[in-house]
Amino acid sequence: MNLTSKTNTQNNRGEHCDGQPEARGETALASQDDFASRPSKSREDITRREFVVTAGVIGGGLALGLPHLASSVGGGSGLAIAEESAPAHVMNVQLRINGNMQSLSLDSRVTLLDALREHLKLTGSKKGCDHGQCGACTVLVNGRRINSCLSLAVAHQGDEVVTVEGLARGEDLHPVQTAFIEHDGLQCGYCTPGQICSAVAMLDEAKNGAASFVTADLAKIGPAKLDDDEIRERMSGNICRCGAYPGILAAVRSVYKDGEKAEMRSGS
Amino acid sequence: MIPFEYQRVDQPEAAVNAVANSQNTKFLAGGTNLIDLMKNNVERPTRLVDITHLPLGRIEDLPDGGVRLGALARNSDTANHPLVRQKYPLLAQALLAGASPQLRNMATNGGNLLQRTRCYYFMEPGFAQCNKRAPGSGCGALEGINRIHAILGASKECIATHPSDMCVALAALDASVRLRGPKGERSMAMTDFHRLPGKTPEVDTNLHPDELILSIDLPASPYAAHSHYLKIRDRASYAFALVSVAAALEMDGQQVRSARIALGGVAHKPWRAQEAEKTLVGKPLSADVIETAAKQTVVGAKGYQYNNFKIEMAIQGVVRALKMAGGMV
């Protein structure tokens, strides 16, 4: 645990904030096998992330006891170690991730989130609560936002997945990404990839006429008008522990307003 | 999570066959509740049958003026379907009150019915006592932290509540559930679908283990003009109900021709309040008659150490929901 905090203090502010929750997520995640099979590297070769992961595993293992490390896939309370060591069911799955077809051989228990982060090294999508309560793992599947932590990777055979890494076009950020920077829609940044993916999908949903719990007239069908209450309600599946909500609201509002202006110019 | 075999099926018959004679097999739909409980080692299937590719995702008109909601239509698509928004705004509201947009994009209508309780003692195997999770072990909530627990229809064995919003609206709207088992199809009233805990709280519903939910059927409704779903919770969004109320009125001028009231967050099943409904029928809608009806909804209610407040909250919730439905506020 001390190793983790020491790493953090040596980094700049952004990395410091990013590092803490990342270490926590990995502690619950990395299996003994993963850990043991990791090739040894010289000190210079070890990336910040790997170092934080390793430190987290060691620290977490000491703090929580070895049974926790033995409960490999999908967390769990470590109460069923014998059964968890029963043979895994490994399956082949093809996923289109950010436009690239990926073939993976996965334990049926692996969530879409873990497939992205641990198998494809797409660590933009974050593991916050791992129980569908925080939204940090939000990705787009076939254009719709979902919590990737509550979804099995093998169930997404043939699906089109877009993560935060797939939103920009080369060096050109997605307008929602630009707006989050312009409007300070973040502090530590850990929830930000989920917030951004969620906002991208939410703006599409509104355009397609989706209602929310605060929509006054549900019988009226057509594109949704988004005021601040609508944006808050529609973004409520993404929790920000820093409380950067005013910035997030401003960022989403600005992208929505730009869209409205563009529609007015095009005469629709 | 224990290892499990994963299988995808594409026809209802194959789905029913896959669970027949198989003790530890479960259907997987949206997964928002099942996968969560599997991570906690509360649910421990050794085989999952993925039914999301069955052709049960449609929302369509029925010949009698009602609407059929496919079991595998997602909650978000159901809430936003024009037929639901215009004929059953109460249901659309209830759906939109539940969970988050991401979860509603995953969760299916059939899965919503089969949600398990959010009782802390059920959700966490670290607690030794839970008759629902480990029959015979006792109820941790009875003498424990029972703020979110039932005030109606509970037993000494279990005081858990059903967490759904959707089901509360469905109970009020006289929906029925169409099921398919090895011997064919059958239909069950929504109000009969969930059980009270009694001495067997481990059984949530009257669905047989080898049955598949095909659809939820709504009859033609006279309530579109006057209905309201009220949800009282600890934060303004993305939280389970402490108390929720589905209220619907069919008005004949100033008089109530018929009424529907169902409560959520108060019992092991959506709680339909038929005596209170009868009180309203044939009378002009007034604050007095609403208050009388509201008090009837909690007849027989029993609070525990931390949830006594729910009894008054239910009364005031019904008052508020009826006034909103009737356009009085």
Q: B60 lies in a domain?
A: no
Contact criterion met (CB below 8 Å) for B229 and B90: yes
Residues of A in contact with B124 (CB under 8 A): 77
| Secondary structure letter of residue B308 according to DSSP | T
Residue A199 has pLDDT above 50, yes or no: yes
B97 touching A, CB under 8 A? yes
Residue A56 has pLDDT above 50, yes or no: no
Distance, CA of A207 to CA of A202 (rounded, Å): 9
Q: A85 lies in a domain?
A: no
Residue A45: the pLDDT is: 55
In this prediction the pTM is 0.88
Question: For B199-228, what is the mean pLDDT?
Answer: 98
Supply the CATH number for residue B289's domain: 3.30.390.50
Q: A186 lies in a domain?
A: yes
- The partner residue sitting opposite A84, judged by closest CB among B2, B79, B237, is B2
Distance, CA of B187 to CA of B214 (rounded, Å): 10
Q: What are phi and psi of A45, to 5 degrees?
A: -80, -15
Distance, CA of B32 to CA of B40 (rounded, Å): 13
Listed in sequence order, the DSSP H helices in A11-73 are: 13-29, 32-37, 48-64, 66-70
Question: For A258-264, what is the mean pLDDT?
Answer: 92
Q: B292 lies in a domain?
A: yes
Distance, CA of B215 to CA of A63 (rounded, Å): 49
Say which amino acid occupies B156: K
Q: B262 lies in a domain?
A: yes
The mean pLDDT of chain A is: 79
- Asked if residue A144 and residue A116 are part of one domain, the reply reads yes
Supply the CATH number for residue A126's domain: 3.10.20.30
- Asked if residue A246 and residue A202 are part of one domain, the reply reads yes
- Asked if residue A258 and residue A209 are part of one domain, the reply reads yes
User: Could you report the per-residue pLDDT of B1-26, keeping only the tens digit for each?
Assistant: 999 999 999 999 999 999 997 889 99
Residue A268: the pLDDT is: 55
Q: Could B102 and A147 be called an inter-chain contact, meaning their C-beta atoms sit closer than 8 Å?
A: yes
Supply the CATH number for residue B18's domain: 3.30.43
Q: B310 lies in a domain?
A: yes
Instruction: Give per-residue burial for A71-88: e unless 16+ CB within 10 Å, then b.
Output: bbbbbbebebeeebeeeb
Top-ranked range on mean pLDDT: pick from A27-31, A259-263, B7-11: B7-11
Domain boundary pick from B14, B36, B52? B52
Q: B153 lies in a domain?
A: no
With 0-12 / 13-18 / 19 or more C-beta atoms within 10 angstroms meaning exposed / middle / buried, residue A13 is exposed
Q: A241 lies in a domain?
A: yes
pLDDT grade, residue A86 (50/70/90)?
confident
- Asked if residue A186 and residue A158 are part of one domain, the reply reads no
Comparing B183 with A73, the larger pLDDT belongs to: B183
Residue A175: the pLDDT is: 98
Residue B279 has pLDDT above 70, yes or no: yes
Domain boundary pick from A76, A100, A123? A76
The mean pLDDT of chain B is: 97
User: Could you report the per-residue pLDDT of A107-125, keeping only the tens digit for each?
Assistant: 999 999 999 999 999 999 9
Residue B210 has pLDDT above 50, yes or no: yes
- The partner residue sitting opposite A237, judged by closest CB among B82, B97, B238, is B238
| Secondary structure letter of residue B28 according to DSSP | E
Residue A94 has pLDDT above 80, yes or no: yes
In chain B, the number of structural domains is 2
User: Could you report the per-residue pLDDT of B93-150, keeping only the tens digit for each?
Assistant: 999 999 999 999 999 999 999 999 999 999 999 999 999 999 999 999 999 999 999 9
Nearest chain A residue to B229 by CA: give it.
Answer: A213
pLDDT grade, residue A211 (50/70/90)?
very high
- Domain containing B47: what range? 5-52
User: Could you report the per-residue pLDDT of A141-164, keeping only the tens digit for each?
Assistant: 999 999 999 999 999 999 999 999
Contact criterion met (CB below 8 Å) for B257 and B251: yes
Residue A76: the pLDDT is: 43
Comparing B184 with A84, the larger pLDDT belongs to: B184
In chain A, the number of structural domains is 3
Residue A80: the pLDDT is: 46
Q: Could B238 and A198 be called an inter-chain contact, meaning their C-beta atoms sit closer than 8 Å?
A: no
Q: A232 lies in a domain?
A: yes
Question: For B261-289, what is the mean pLDDT?
Answer: 98
Distance, CA of A36 to CA of B300 (rounded, Å): 60
Q: A84 lies in a domain?
A: no
With 0-12 / 13-18 / 19 or more C-beta atoms within 10 angstroms meaning exposed / middle / buried, residue A253 is middle
User: Of the ranges A26-35, A79-88, A184-193, B7-16, which one carries the lowest mean pLDDT score?
Assistant: A26-35
- The partner residue sitting opposite B89, judged by closest CB among A205, A218, A234, is A218
- The tokens of B237 are what? 């969004």
Supply the CATH number for residue A184's domain: 1.10.150.120
Say which amino acid occupies A230: E
The packing angle between helices A192-207 and A245-265, to 10°, is 30
- Asked if residue A42 and residue A11 are part of one domain, the reply reads yes
- Asked if residue A94 and residue A145 are part of one domain, the reply reads yes
- Domain containing A45: what range? 2-76
Neighbours of B278 (CB within 10 A): 13
Q: Could B3 and A74 be called an inter-chain contact, meaning their C-beta atoms sit closer than 8 Å?
A: no
Residue A149: the pLDDT is: 98
Residue A49: the pLDDT is: 56
- Asked if residue A240 and residue A196 are part of one domain, the reply reads yes
- The partner residue sitting opposite A198, judged by closest CB among B2, B32, B102, is B102
Q: Could A155 and B93 be called an inter-chain contact, meaning their C-beta atoms sit closer than 8 Å?
A: no
Q: B135 lies in a domain?
A: no
Residue A71 has pLDDT above 80, yes or no: no
Domain boundary pick from A76, A103, A129? A76
User: Could you report the per-residue pLDDT of A213-223, keeping only the tens digit for each?
Assistant: 999 999 999 99
Residue A245: the pLDDT is: 98
Domain boundary pick from A110, A133, A166? A166
